[in-house]
Structure 1
Amino acid sequence: MGDERRLNVAVIGASGYTGGETVRLLADHPHVRLAFLSAERHAGSTVGAVHPWLRNHPVVGRHRLRPLEEMPEVDVAFSCLPTGALPKALPHIAKHADRVLNLAGDFRLHDRAETRRHYPDAEAVDEKFAYFVPELSADLGAERFVNLPGCMAVASIYALYPLFCDNLVESRVVVDAKTGSSGSGKGSGEHPAERAGNFRVHKPHGHRHAPEIRQALAEFTGFEPELQFSTHSLDMPRGIMVSCYSQLREGVTALEVKRAYASAYAGKPFVKFRTAPKRPQDFPMLKAVVGSNLAEVAVSVQGTEVVSVAALDNLVKGAAGQAVQTMNLMMGLDESTGLPTTAVGP
């Protein structure tokens, strides 16, 4: 795509947290024109009224949200609708968009039984969505429909991929994932008073990201792990931290593990391998990634025990940021265009 042309882009479901973050990242993207921002409940409201943190942008803050029926022809549509909503809206969106990127979970799973269990509304849709992790998937080529990974799933994939890619660990792995409150979306029924100053179990078994992690690791490494995946709720709005516990195969050394991670993420601008963490603050942490499109990854080996850790911002690298990164790759742009590489602190 020549630098002189801007992509006409739509954000569908722009009133939610993920939609608002997608708008924020695209607002100053040098190759994007925000042609359409949709929201049904908030149609007619300005972006700045719905997302106060965007109201001071000189252009986007004054954009009005519109109903989906008014969608014009666009090059790329980002679907930020709640899980279960896109299957019904897809015929209309597909009629008006050359490419569709889905940030919800509807089309992540290939197994029909798992889809029926976790995403029942997606089962009857004929269009096939490619599952895409920017650092690990093959080139998208002419793929028209793409589904991005779940936030806790992609953090787990980054933490585990080198271990299974190089056949370094036994099949059994335990993943302990912790997530901020924005992952529940604006429609969460949890009162802030119950989350503030608290730390609790979210889902010890049966989370819908578990089959996604198994599927992705099988696809990218050729090996499907025996996975225990449990999630917990953090008292903070943003951020995901996963800690993964596995056992080395016989004869594998700590040096081999370190080399596997360094090789897997060499040249990947948005996955940073922390090569030799010694102090606790050297390991991945949320303060180092929140607000950025970065995932930090580290691994520690003691004897045969392996602990691999990843941290990322669930709204950026876990959702809107990886979607913009994917758009960049699809459209022949530098993948880092328009994406933040530093965190917000303190």
Structure 2
Amino acid sequence: MADTLLRAAVIGASGYTGGELVRLLLDHPAAEVTFASAERHAGAALGAVHPWLRNHPAAGRVTLRPLDELPDVDVAFCCLPAGRLPAVLPRVAERAKRVLNLAGDFRLRDADEISAHYPASADSPFSFTYYVPELSDAPPEGRFVNLPGCMAVASLYALHPLYAGALAEPRVVVDAKTGSTGGGRDTAEHPAERFGNFRVHRPHGHRHLPEIRRAVAEFSGTELDLQFSTYSLDVPRGIVVTGYARLRPGVTALDVKRAYARAYAGRPFVRVRSSPRSPRDFPMLKAVVGSNVAEVAASVRDDRVVAVAALDNLVKGAAGQAVQAMNLLAGLDEGAGLPWTAVAP
């Protein structure tokens, strides 16, 4: 146990991501949930809003409160729906030494793209650093950090080694298949329509597309010609992303294998499935759901490469990655408080 616990606030604690953050922080050896906000559920006990947390020994000490009661904290995790943070950010910035945002408001840089996808942040005076623990050279020094979107970061894990090593042509097709929690707790889709179904979610225009393009350019220097489409899975958690591209002339399967090994060497939470031969060898939901681990693999035949990544959208794609970032920013062990193994069957 650390001598002094990090005081953490979870802003928007009634949603799936906020609840997952509280779950992870309740068992963190060096942090404590000092404050958890939820406007509609202010005054409610944590277990009343998240029944799956009510049996934790510390759950009784957490009551959801309005944001106006936010005390001074070391770190504020912002889990509000896209568009909500800019209006309340001055209050959060006043009370938090560091702000980690899990929504998309400050992920983009192009003014036209911000206006199209996150208009509420278009005129914000605050500037955030985009941070992916496995791809950024070092933790950012500024107070304001924006973490990647779940489908975006899964796509980055799949594609990064190909473009960091200049192995693939820039034209790439990515499809991302996500579980129902990706739509948030207030989704209007009835369970009867999702159960036993697999459908297109958005074939064009998803707001993670410009984020992926920008991030690949930032981390590898390659401007992608990207087609990005999303699909809805009949599962509560998990994302599987598949990228399809052509290799540059002269690039071999061995070059690709080495690139993935190099890219994630020393990155404990991204596991490369090297030389997959059977379907069970590839990344899959049963191997990652419930954990902070992302699995990646690439399969090559002739000049074609198929890159696959799988992760839990609520853990590695959101709350777990945020705790991982907090650990690195605070100089703690990267894996402190984070689950390594999946929950199955």
- Secondary structure of 2:167 counterpart: coil
Alignment of 1:249-328 (within 5 A): 249-328=248-327
Structure 1 residues 246-294: Cα deviation after superposition (integer angstroms, max 9, x where no partner)? 0010011110000000010111110000011101011000000000000
What is the DSSP-based 3-state SS (H/G/I as helix, E as strand, rest coil) of the residue aligned with 1:171? strand
Question: Residue in 2 aligned with 1:91?
Answer: 90
CA–CA separation in structure 2 for the residues paired with 1:222 and 1:171: 11
Deviation of 1:60 after TM superposition, in Å, equals 2.2
Residue 182 of structure 2 is matched in structure 1 by: 183
Q: Is 1:152 the equivalent of 2:151?
A: yes
Bigger mean CA offset, 325-334 vs 133-142: 133-142
Q: How high is the TM-score relative to the length of structure 1?
A: 0.99
Counterpart contact for 1:38–1:68, Cα < 8 Å: yes
Instruction: Name the counterpart of 1:114.
Output: 113
Partner SS for 1:153: helix
Contact map agreement 2:129 2:140 (CA 8 A) in 1 = no
Residue identity (%): 68
Residue equivalent to 1:34: 33
Q: Is the 8 A contact 2:133 2:139 kept in 1?
A: no
Q: In the TM superposition, what are the counterparts of 1:229-240 in structure 2 within 5 Å?
A: 229-240=228-239
Structure 2 residue 166 is matched with structure 1 residue 167: yes
What is the alpha-carbon distance in structure 1 between the residues aligned to residue 45 and residue 317 of structure 2? 26
Deviation of the 1:141 alpha carbon? 4.2
Secondary structure in structure 1 of the residue aligned to 2:138: coil
- Aligned partner of 1:208 in structure 2 is 207
Code of the aligned partner of 1:121: A
Distance in 1 between residues matched to 2:228 and 2:59, nearest whole Å: 39
Aligned-partner Cα distance in 2 for 1:259–1:146: 31
- Partner Cα distance (1:197, 1:288) in 2: 21
Q: Is the 8 A contact 1:54 1:61 kept in 2?
A: no
Residue 76 of structure 1 corresponds to: 75
Distance 2:262 2:32 in 1: 37
Q: What amino acid is the match of 2:187?
A: S
Residue 63 (structure 2) aligns with: 64
- Aligned-residue offset at 1:33: 1.5
- Structure 1 contact 159–310 (Cα < 8 Å) conserved: yes
| TM-score, normalised via structure 2 length | 0.99
Distance in 2 (alpha carbons) for counterparts of 1:169 and 1:269:
25
**Residue 103 of structure 2: aligned partner:** 104
Q: By how many angstroms is 1:61 displaced?
A: 4.3
Stretches of structure 2 lacking an aligned partner (at least 5 in a row)? none
Alignment of 1:116-135 (within 5 A): 116-135=115-134
Q: The residue matched to 1:127 in structure 2 has which SS?
A: coil
Q: 2 CA distance for matches of 1:28 and 1:147?
A: 24
Gap regions ≥5 residues in structure 1: none
What do residues 53-107 of structure 1 show as CA deviations (whole Å, max 9, x unaligned)?
0000011244110000000000000000111000001000000000000001000
Aligned residue in 2 for 1:218: 217
Using the TM superposition, give the Cα deviation of residue 3 of structure 1 relative to its aligned residue in structure 2, in angstroms.
2.9
| CA distance in 1: counterparts of 2:59 and 2:248, whole angstroms | 53
Alignment of 1:9-48 (within 5 A): 9-48=8-47
Deviation at 1:209, TM superposition (A): 0.3
Checking the alignment, whether the CA contact within 8 Å between 1:55 and 1:62 is kept in structure 2 is no
The residue aligned with 1:49 is 48
Question: Following the alignment from structure 1 to structure 2, what is the Cα–Cα distance between the partners of residues 60 and 80?
Answer: 19
Question: Does 2:7 align with 1:8?
Answer: yes
Look up the match of 2:247: 248
SS of equivalent residue, structure 2 residue 168:
coil
Out of 98-107 and 56-65, give the one that drifted further.
56-65
Aligned counterparts of 2:155 and 2:55: Cα–Cα separation in 1: 35
CA–CA distance in 2 between the matches of 1:50 and 1:141?
34
Which aligned runs of 4 or more in structure 1 are off by greater than 3 angstroms? none
2:200 aligned partner, one-letter code: V
User: What number of residue pairs does the alignment pair up?
Assistant: 345
Secondary structure at the counterpart of residue 93 of structure 1: helix
